[in-house]
Amino acid sequence: MIYHTPALLNETIEGLNILPDGVYVDVTFGGGGHSRAILERLSAKGCLVALDQDADALANAPADERLIVQRGNFRFLRNYLAHHGFRKVDGILADLGVSSHHFDQAVRGFSFRNADASLDMRMNTSAQLTAKDVVNRYPEDRLREIFAQYGELTDAARLARQIVTARQDTVIERCGQLIEAIGKCIPRGAENKYLAKVFQALRIETNRELENLKSLLMQSVELLPQGGRLVIIAYHSLEDRLTKNFFKNGMFEGNADKDIYGNVDVPFRTVNNRAIVPTDGEIAINNRARSAKLRIGIRN
């Protein structure tokens, strides 16, 4: 079984501009596709640190003396690298989102197509918060915020109200129960698109995905030397917008201050003005890559 087919593989490796003797970090090891390609370009003196918070993913790690495997969330990247003796690295890669493995494993509850699956959605199965907790314990106003911000749903208030009403009668434990509870909100002819946004919002909240990305972006300023590369693959507009703004302005919202000459002091410069996206040929082979957007930053 293929755990996960990496998106934009060639473009990602090119974007890292790998130095044979360099030190690189893949903070989302997944199926190891990107990591293996990095290792192919490293010399015997090179090193790759591979992170993933999912134990299933790290089971794919190859036996290689140049590879250091670390289970954990990349929000703690600085600490992990210090533990292994690294203060600086030459490149950092993050392939965000959910792997094919997660979607295909019904028990994990990432896909709305698995009605009997538990509302789990944890990337790290040791974490305490589950999507079930979010659905059944969060107050209505917080649910509304989650669906509006993370799902970009225009009927977030109605959706939250439907959930709160339904959970008064029974605990919503499974994906099918949630879909039934919000049935009146689901538009005919656009069921899949709507449910994908609902599940995305719950997954982002359960795993604190945007907070983790912000932490990674900020840590990368300290961890990368001048000329070091940060490569981010995002799969929805929220992640991509954070990355784009950080590369452009050095912040997540608003615009950076300019000096009297109109110059902006930002930690990164971008390789491409626009995000790199998969070709039609790649999408035909790997449909799950269709929403991928790659951005490359070079440390100033």
In a domain, 15, yes or no: yes
Listed residues 175, 207, 239: the one ending a domain? 207
Residues 83 and 124 in one domain: no
Of 207, 226, 254, the residue that ends a domain is 207
Q: Is 143 inside a domain boundary?
A: yes
Q: Are residues 253 and 136 in the same domain?
A: no
Asked if residue 199 and residue 116 are part of one domain, the reply reads: yes
Structure tokens at 62: 């190859």
Q: Quick check: 136 and 171 in contact, CB under 8 A?
A: yes
pLDDT tens for each residue of 127-184: 999 999 999 999 999 999 999 999 999 999 999 999 999 999 999 999 999 999 999 9
For residue 1, is it within any domain? no
Residue 55: inside a domain:
yes
Same domain, 76 and 213: yes
Residue 244, domain member (yes or no): yes
Confidence of residue 102 (pLDDT cuts 50, 70, 90): low
Alpha-carbon distance of 240 to 292, in angstroms, equals: 9
Q: Is 144 exposed, middle or buried (0-12, 13-18, 19+ CB in 10 A)?
A: buried
Instruction: Report the pLDDT averaged over residues 79-98.
Output: 95
Domain at 34, CATH number:
3.40.50.150
**Residue 162 sits in the same domain as residue 179:** yes
The residue assigned the tokens 């656009």 is 190
259 and 214, same domain (yes or no): yes
Range 199-202, long-range pairs (CB < 8 A, 24+ positions): 199/110, 199/111, 199/112, 199/121, 200/150, 200/151, 200/236, 201/146, 201/147, 201/149, 201/150, 201/151, 201/153, 202/119, 202/121, 202/131, 202/134, 202/135, 202/146
pLDDT digits (tens, 9 = 90+) for 223-269: 999 999 999 999 999 999 999 999 999 988 777 666 667 677 899 99
Structure tokens belonging to residue 196: 């994908």
- Number of independent structural domains in the chain: 2
Torsion angle of C-alpha atoms 112, 113, 114, 116, degrees rounded to 10: 70
* CATH number, residue 175: 1.10.150.170
Q: Do 30 and 95 belong to one domain?
A: yes
Asked whether residue 2 is domain-assigned, the answer is no
Q: Is residue 73 part of a domain?
A: yes
Asked if residue 96 belongs to a domain, the reply is yes
Structural domain for 168, as ranges: 105-207
